[in-house]
Chain A
Amino acid sequence: MADEELRDALPGLSPGGAVVGLPPATADGAVGAAGAVDVSARRIHREQLRLLLRSAPFIVGMVLFLWWLVCAIFGQFFVPYNPVNGNLIQFNLAPSGAHWFGTDSLGRDVLSRVIVGSREILIVAVLATVLATAAGTALGLVMGYFRGLIDNVVGRIVDAVLSLPVVILAFLFVVPVGPSARTLILIIGLVFALLIARTVRTAVLQERDQDYIAAARLRDESGAHIMFVEILPNVAGPILVEFTVRLGYAIFAIATLSFLGFGITPPTPDWGADIANSAQYLAAGYWWETLFPALAIASLVVAINLIGDSIEAVLIR
């Protein structure tokens, strides 16, 4: 009983009860408490959260990410200038006190566009990743739990899909349908769902031979109940990591598609589209119109990767 509770409580705990990767303090606590039944899931989660909040990469990533989140939600209220309608006389101005990041070829303030440009990409990326994680988790659970035909068929399709880079694949489907936020969410969500399903499947395969699954079968629980109530909480760690990793790739893919003209389209302020428009003026020396949106994408992608890596380091390994 105590053992089973401990297993449920610790997603990062490997089968034989060996505590891997958790720092000595937690390990001692958990092992010492295995006799007395006072190890609650909440306590473990609190400990993991404390470790996370003490890691510098996580803090840096979180601060950057929250900054862009604030810009996405409230940016329109604190931008210094109108990001969509510029002052046509003041075009291609170099960075100065009045325009910190300069102005673009249509006289629009680059700083204002960079701030508001975080909105659409974050909405699309987050929705696509949520869709991918939900669909991918369900598919992965079914593949890993039932194995057999569905596992083989989906596995082959994933192989075929993986032989194309995500951007090219999304490109192929966006072109006939036409770019829109809904198309982007659907396509990136579906492609990433296949990739997430593969990871979840591997995690499920490690769980399905555990005793608690055999016990659930003996209790005559339904397949759906075993998958979503028994197995799902135990594979939550890898799914959370996969979510952050995919969010990073979704931003990468959406920015690239926007740059190519098949993602978020003008006049909506967007970093990728802005870079595509201003890159033609690079040779003329107007570097600020391109560099600042590029740095914005870089900081957002790096922030999400820092968060993902820190979560992975605390949960898994």
Chain B
Amino acid sequence: MTGYLLKRLGLTVLTLILLSLIIFLAGQVLPGNPGREILGPFAQNSAVQALNHSLGVDRPLVVQYWSWVSGAVHGNLGTSSQFRAPVSSFLFPALGRSLKLALLAFLLVVPLSIVGGVVAALNRGRPVDRAISVTGLSLATLPEFVTGVVLIVVFAIELKWLPVTASAPPGSSVPTQIRYLLLPAIVLVLVLFGYIMRMARAGTIEALDSDYVRTATLKGLPRSVVIRRHVLRNALLPTITVIATQTGYLIGGLVVVETLFNYPGLGRLILTAANNKDFAMLEAGVLTIGVVYLVATLVADILYTQLNPRIRLQAAD
């Protein structure tokens, strides 16, 4: 068990190192001459060199990578060139706001999609199943801003039920904040619903077709008990993995949703950094998304092994 976990942890760290290399290459090597980019084509060469020196980009790549990574590990993510202030003082508050939005979406989508998947599986092949499956999968393939725009038109502009932006006035109460966050959260829910629902449906169908469910039915257990005690407990295990994978994408999808709804979270911070060629901020933001994804996947893996007695006991031998 411990061996498996250590191996899993090692793989995550290795992936993280590779990821940081990719981000470093894109953000630090591809721009070429950052001093020239910032100062423009008419600046003197000496000024460009002086700026490159103060930014530290005239050092060998290995040294640059090492100082970036070791800084990031210590919580020093560099200096934002647009705000002339430490990246971390913007990144962490923005991450907090994004997590608030993501949490609301998560609380809505998990129960909804599991119920949807189980209902579809119990009615396999009937119109209910087809309606849930087709709707879920079509919504999942649409870009967030497409569903977002349609929702804004219908619920914010025509029906006037919810506000157009996501930022509640400062100092609002929690229910007001939730009211403002509801529409962007629903956009995320619509995108994620299809993936999680499909997994829950597949898991339930597999459990329904199993021998132990047949035995439970044949020994005369009521259908509700069979479903609750035998089907659901086995069906929902693989769903956990998908939920974790989708959490990572949830954070990624925030760029679009936060832009559309004007919400000052991590996604919009990354977009502003990109527009202003603020590479330190951009790299830190993208790295944060990667870390959130990798941690979520790792947690799901550990949960999976803990909840599945077959793996837990086999590993204990």
Whether the Cβ atoms of A291 and B30 lie closer than 8 Å is no
Whether the Cβ atoms of B143 and A163 lie closer than 8 Å is no
Whether the Cβ atoms of B294 and A290 lie closer than 8 Å is no
Chain B interface, number of residues (Cβ within 8 angstroms): 50
- Contact partner of B252 among A167, A255, A261, CB < 8 A? A167
Closest residue on chain A to residue B137 by CB atoms: A305
Is A41 in the interface zone, CB < 8 Å from B?
Answer: no
Whether the Cβ atoms of A164 and B290 lie closer than 8 Å is yes
Q: Which stretch, A90-98, A233-241, A277-285, touches the partner chain B?
A: A277-285
Whether the Cβ atoms of A259 and B256 lie closer than 8 Å is yes
User: Please, which residues of chain A bring their CB within 8 A of the CB of B297?
Assistant: 163
- The distance from the CB of A122 to the nearest CB of chain B, in whole angstroms, is 16
Whether the Cβ atoms of B18 and A160 lie closer than 8 Å is yes
Is A215 in the interface zone, CB < 8 Å from B?
Answer: no
Residues A282 and B252 in contact in the complex (CB < 8 Å), given A172-B23, A260-B271: no
Is A157 in the interface zone, CB < 8 Å from B?
Answer: yes
- The distance from the CB of B241 to the nearest CB of chain A, in whole angstroms, is 14
Is A123 in the interface zone, CB < 8 Å from B?
Answer: no
Partner-A contacts on B (CB < 8 A): 11, 14-16, 18-19, 22-23, 26-27, 30-32, 137-138, 141-146, 149-150, 152-153, 156-158, 164, 248-249, 252-253, 255-256, 259-260, 270-271, 274-275, 277, 279, 282, 286, 289-290, 293-294, 297
Is A13 in the interface zone, CB < 8 Å from B?
Answer: no
User: Please, which residues of chain B bring their CB within 8 A of the CB of A260?
Assistant: 255-256, 259, 271, 274
User: Please, which residues of chain B bring their CB within 8 A of the CB of A256?
Assistant: 143-145, 256
Whether the Cβ atoms of B252 and A165 lie closer than 8 Å is yes
The residues in A between 150 and 171 inclusive whose CB is less than 8 angstroms from any CB of B are 156-157, 159-161, 163-165, 167-168, 171
Closest residue on chain A to residue B14 by CB atoms: A156
Residues A275 and B157 in contact in the complex (CB < 8 Å), given A163-B248, A175-B274, A177-B30: no
User: Please, which residues of chain B bring their CB within 8 A of the CB of A176?
Assistant: 26-27, 30-32, 277, 279
- The distance from the CB of B246 to the nearest CB of chain A, in whole angstroms, is 11
Is A189 in the interface zone, CB < 8 Å from B?
Answer: no
Closest residue on chain B to residue A290 by CB atoms: B149
State A165–B251 Cα separation when bound (angstroms): 9
Is A287 in the interface zone, CB < 8 Å from B?
Answer: yes
User: Please, which residues of chain B bring their CB within 8 A of the CB of A243?
Assistant: none
Query: Which of A161, A171, A248, A262 has the most C-beta atoms of chain B within 10 angstroms of its own C-beta?
Result: A171
